């Protein structure tokens, strides 16, 4: 055992000396691995950060929430021309579902928000997402109030001219003023601010922080919701413990009967689940990871070839030394480990530098962004060291084997 420890120690020392004696070559070899490891870990860290942020925002929402609408948010087997002919999901549909489908904890009706302009005195904010929706959305989306209150069922049903603002939207519009009770203009009409939502945070993935909520019946007074240019949705939250598959089947059948569809007719609506959207998001995240691996793989390949090339040159330059070492009794494995360690050390240091650059980038990113947190997981740190070590091992194994198999006499003669 002591013999092998001494062998490793001496091989390691030879490798370090070789790297110190060829600083420029060492730097160039490190560069390829550094770029490769930096690329892949930076991409994976960014994707992980996005994944964590999105899922963190969805944690407070029931994954069994369902959406009834005429559009599919994902791929569909139904041709686009046929989907375009589907009728709008209107307010009567919403009232039918709310009054005739059992096991519903909350049911809301919404018009998908569009970019609107909000004015307060001489201040104007453009491209604000204003969502007309019934009061039940407060419970379904697990919203929290920072100031004031959310509009109630009576205000929702009568279409009261009130608005609830997201945290960031209220800050941008009123700055240091108290927003509750102030009158703003949206849709060219006056509305009273009755509430400000608690800060949601995270990436702006339909974040309530930048949104405004108004009673859907207020907007229905002047907007043609039957228009194909408007997207309306019925949002349904089943009761806890309900078999969601059975619930969806009952909902589908009752809604078909409400629409007067015959058994042979296809559904002229879609029932979408938030859990299905999460699976879709996971698929996108997986695709981004794959793309990251493919792109970074080329950098890693170049880095690996660079190390292999440098190691072959190193073997060539030290042929005479290898012959002398062998003539003095050095075993093949000593020569093998000497060059193999050199390649692994090169790749490992390159990976360490690449990881350090990612860490610096994450620190800077977190300082520059308030609502998005970049993360560098232990898994990615371990992956960086694993990848760099494997690159060194694979890149150095063939040059190391060729060096260990040199005939001492031929090596001294070639070197001389």
Element (H, E) at 98: helix 91-100
Average of pLDDT values for 215-233?
88
Residue 93: inside a domain: yes
What pLDDT sits at residue 276?
56
Per-residue pLDDT reduced to its tens digit, 64-113 = 889 999 887 766 777 777 878 888 999 999 999 999 998 999 999 999 87
Residues 106 and 234 in one domain: yes
Per-residue pLDDT reduced to its tens digit, 275-300 = 655 666 667 777 777 777 777 677 66
Query: Cα(129)–Cα(385) distance, rounded to whole angstroms?
Result: 44
Out of 263-272, 325-334, 395-404, which region has the weakest mean confidence (pLDDT)?
325-334
Q: Residue 189's pLDDT band (boundaries 50, 70, 90)?
A: very high
Residues 161 and 230 in one domain: yes
Residue showing tokens 């703003």: 184
72 within 8 A of 272, measured Cβ to Cβ = yes
Query: Cα(373)–Cα(364) distance, rounded to whole angstroms?
Result: 11
What pLDDT sits at residue 50?
75
What pLDDT sits at residue 180?
95
Residues 33 and 92 in one domain: no
Which of 245, 268, 291 is at the close of a domain?
A: 268
Residues 249 and 118 in one domain: yes
Per-residue pLDDT reduced to its tens digit, 228-247 = 788 899 999 999 888 988 99
Query: Cα(139)–Cα(136) distance, rounded to whole angstroms?
Result: 6
Identify the CA nearest to 339 among candidates 6, 4, 17. Answer: 17
**DSSP assignment string, 368-383:** H-SS------HHHHHH
Residue 364: inside a domain: yes
Residue 64: inside a domain: no
Residue 337: inside a domain: yes
Residues 240 and 183 in one domain: yes
* Residues of the domain holding 159: 87-268
Residues 191 and 123 in one domain: yes
What pLDDT sits at residue 38?
79
Query: Cα(157)–Cα(125) distance, rounded to whole angstroms?
Result: 28
Q: Helix, strand, or coil here: 145?
A: strand
Residues 141 and 245 in one domain: yes
Query: Cα(407)–Cα(416) distance, rounded to whole angstroms?
Result: 14
Split into its structural domains, the chain has a count of: 2
Residues 150 and 243 in one domain: yes
Out of 139-143, 346-350, 406-410, which region has the weakest mean confidence (pLDDT)?
406-410
Residues 127 and 252 in one domain: yes
372 within 8 A of 202, measured Cβ to Cβ = yes
Query: Cα(117)–Cα(218) distance, rounded to whole angstroms?
Result: 17
Neighbour-count burial of 318, counting CB atoms closer than 10 A to its CB (0-12 exposed, 13-18 middle, 19+ buried): buried
What pLDDT sits at residue 321?
67
Phi, psi torsion values for 115, nearest 5 degrees = -70, 120
Residue 75: inside a domain: no
Average of pLDDT values for 293-319?
70
Q: Could you say which DSSP state residue 268 is in?
A: S
What pLDDT sits at residue 415?
52
Residue showing tokens 């959207």: 277
Q: Helix, strand, or coil here: 194?
A: strand
Residue 67: inside a domain: no
CA atoms within 13 A on the CB side of 158: 8
25 within 8 A of 307, measured Cβ to Cβ = no
More confident: 146 or 60 = 146
Q: Residue 209's pLDDT band (boundaries 50, 70, 90)?
A: confident
Residues 257 and 365 in one domain: no
Question: Does the structure show a pLDDT above 90 at 136?
Answer: yes
Question: Does the structure show a pLDDT above 70 at 3?
Answer: no
If phi > 0 it is left, if psi is from -120 to 50 it is alpha, else beta; for residue 208 that is alpha
Residues 147 and 10 in one domain: no
Q: Could you say which DSSP state residue 210 is in?
A: G
């Amino acid at each position: 055992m002591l013999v092998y420890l001494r062998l490793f120690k001496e091989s390691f020392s030879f490798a370090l000396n070789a790297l110190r004696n060829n600083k420029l070559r060492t730097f160039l070899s490190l560069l390829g691995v550094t770029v490769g490891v930096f690329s892949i870990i930076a991409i994976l860290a960014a994707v992980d950060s996005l994944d964590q942020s999105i899922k963190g925002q969805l944690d407070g929402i029931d994954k069994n929430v369902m959406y009834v609408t005429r559009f599919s948010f994902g791929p569909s087997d139904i041709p686009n021309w046929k989907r375009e002919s589907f009728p709008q999901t209107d307010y009567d549909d919403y009232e039918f579902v709310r009054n005739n489908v059992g096991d519903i904890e909350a049911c809301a009706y919404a018009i998908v928000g569009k970019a609107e302009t909000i004015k307060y005195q001489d201040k104007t904010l453009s491209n604000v997402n204003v969502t007309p929706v019934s009061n039940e959305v407060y419970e379904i989306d697990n919203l929290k109030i920072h100031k004031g209150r959310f509009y109630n069922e009576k205000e929702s049903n009568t279409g009261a001219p009130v608005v609830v603002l997201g945290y960031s939207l209220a800050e941008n519009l009123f700055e240091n003023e108290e927003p509750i009770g102030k009158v703003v203009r949206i849709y060219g009409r006056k509305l009273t601010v009755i509430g400000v939502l608690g800060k949601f945070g995270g990436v702006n993935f339909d974040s309530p922080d930048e949104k405004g909520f108004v009673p859907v019946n207020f907007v229905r007074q002047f907007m043609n919701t039957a228009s194909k240019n408007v997207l309306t949705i019925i949002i349904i939250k089943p009761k806890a413990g309900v078999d969601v598959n059975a619930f969806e089947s009952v909902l589908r059948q009752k809604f078909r009967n409400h629409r007067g569809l015959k058994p042979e007719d296809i559904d002229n609506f879609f029932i979408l689940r938030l859990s299905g959207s999460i699976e879709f998001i996971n698929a996108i995240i997986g695709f981004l990871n794959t793309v990251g691996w493919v792109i970074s793989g080329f950098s890693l390949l170049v880095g690996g070839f660079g190390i292999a090339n440098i190691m072959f040159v190193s073997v060539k330059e030290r042929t005479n030394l290898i012959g002398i070492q062998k003539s003095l009794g050095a075993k093949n494995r000593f020569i093998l480990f000497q060059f193999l360690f050199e390649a692994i050390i090169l790749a490992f240091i390159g990976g360490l530098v690449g990881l350090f650059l990612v860490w610096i980038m994450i620190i800077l990113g977190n300082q520059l962004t308030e609502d998005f947190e970049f993360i560098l997981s232990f898994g990615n740190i371990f992956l960086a060291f694993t990848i760099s070590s494997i690159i060194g091992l694979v890149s150095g194994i063939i040059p190391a084997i060729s060096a260990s198999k040199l005939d001492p006499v031929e090596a001294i003669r070639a070197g001389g």
